[in-house]
Structure 1
Amino acid sequence: MNVSPKKKPVSPKKRVVGFNVMEDRCIWMKAGVVNYHICDNAFDCNACPFNRAIRQAMKIDPSVDHQTAASKWVTYLVERYDGANRPCRHALTGRIAAPKTCPYNYNCSNCAFDQMLDEMDLGADLGEPTCNVVAGFKIADDYYYHMGHSWVRFEHGGRARIGLDDFAACVFGHLSQVDLPPLGAKVQQDRVGWTFGRDDHRAGVLSPVTGTVLAVNHPAREHPQLVNEDPYHTGWLFIVEPDLPKRNLKRLFFGQECTQWIDQEHRKLLGLMGPPYEDMAATGGSVVRDIYGAIDTLRWDDLASQFLHTTKK
Structure 2
Amino acid sequence: MVAILVVFTIILFVGADLVVQWVRQRRARPVLVAQERGGGVADLLLPNLQPERFSLPGGLFFHRGHTWVNLLFSGQVKVGVDDFLQKLLGHVDAITLPPVGVEVKQGEPFVAIRQGGRTATLPAPVDGVVCAVNGELAKAPGLIKRDPYTRGWLVALRPTNLAANLPKLTVGENALVWLKAELARLQEFLHGTLTLRRDALVGATAADGGLLADGLLEHLDDETWAEFQAKFLSA
**TM class by shorter-chain length?**
0.5 to 0.7
1:214 aligned onto 2:131: yes
**Residue pairs, 1:20-59, within 5 angstroms:** none
- Equivalents in 2 of 1:206, 1:306: separation in Å? 13
1:299 aligned onto 2:216: no
Alpha-carbon displacement from aligned partner over 1:246-287 (angstroms, at most 9, x marks no partner): 221111111111111111111111122229x9xxxxxxxx96
Cα distance, 1:294 vs structure 2: 5.2
Given candidates 253, 267, 291, the residue that maps to 2:170 is: 253
More helix, by proportion: 2
Q: Which runs of 5+ in 2 are unaligned?
A: 1-49, 195-210
RMSD: 2.4
- Equivalents in 2 of 1:253, 1:213: separation in Å? 22
**Residue pairs, 1:1-313, within 5 angstroms:** 134-274=51-191, 288-293=213-218, 299-309=224-234
Retained in 2: the 8 A contact 1:150–1:162?
Answer: yes
How many residue pairs get aligned? The number is: 170
Cα distance, 1:298 vs structure 2: 8.5
Cα distance, 1:293 vs structure 2: 2.7
Corresponding letter in the other structure for 1:300: W
Q: SS where residue 106 of structure 2 aligns? A: coil
Cα distance, 1:229 vs structure 2: 1.5
Retained in 1: the 8 A contact 2:113–2:121?
Answer: yes
- Equivalents in 2 of 1:287, 1:149: separation in Å? 20
Q: Which runs of 5+ in 1 are unaligned?
A: 1-132, 278-285
- Equivalents in 2 of 1:197, 1:138: separation in Å? 23
- Equivalents in 2 of 1:267, 1:297: separation in Å? 23
- Equivalents in 2 of 1:223, 1:264: separation in Å? 32
Retained in 1: the 8 A contact 2:62–2:169?
Answer: yes
Retained in 2: the 8 A contact 1:193–1:206?
Answer: yes
Q: SS where residue 264 of structure 1 aligns? A: helix
Identity %: 28
- Larger RCO: Structure 1 or Structure 2 (Cα < 8 Å, ≥ 6 residues apart)? 2
Retained in 2: the 8 A contact 1:163–1:238?
Answer: yes
Cα distance, 1:296 vs structure 2: 7.1
Query: Which 4+ runs in 1 deviate beyond 6 A?
Result: 295-298
- Which residue is equivalent to 2:46? none
